[in-house]
Amino acid sequence: MARFVLWGTYCDNALEKRAPFRDEHLERLKALKESGTLITLGPTVGSTHVFAVFESDSESTVRALLEADVYWREGIWTQLDVYPWVQAF
């Protein structure tokens, strides 16, 4: 398994706009965390960007997981950049 990082952006007024979708989003993240696929995920202060670390067999798998998330489908996340990552420490 390889590790991948996500660096993405949120829409304007994300804290307000995400409210109807937050429970679904968090439940899905919890399941990904429990399966070992999601290592960590969270927003920057001010909720302008999102950062995450995933463990997966491919970048395309991570991208598919992200694009299936309600935050992407509903436009809360506006850009998702995924990069292969080498954990040095």
pLDDT the model gives residue 24: 98
pLDDT the model gives residue 3: 98
Query: Percent of the chain, pLDDT > 90?
Result: 99
Give 55's strand partners: 3
What average pLDDT does this structure show over 22-49? 97
pTM above 0.85, yes or no: yes
Assign 26 a pLDDT band (cuts: 50, 70, 90).
very high
What is the chain's mean pLDDT, rounded? Answer: 97
52-82: per-residue pLDDT in tens? Answer: 999 999 999 999 999 999 999 999 999 999 9
Assign 13 a pLDDT band (cuts: 50, 70, 90).
very high
Whole-angstrom CA distances from 54 to 16, 75, 80 are 27, 21, 13
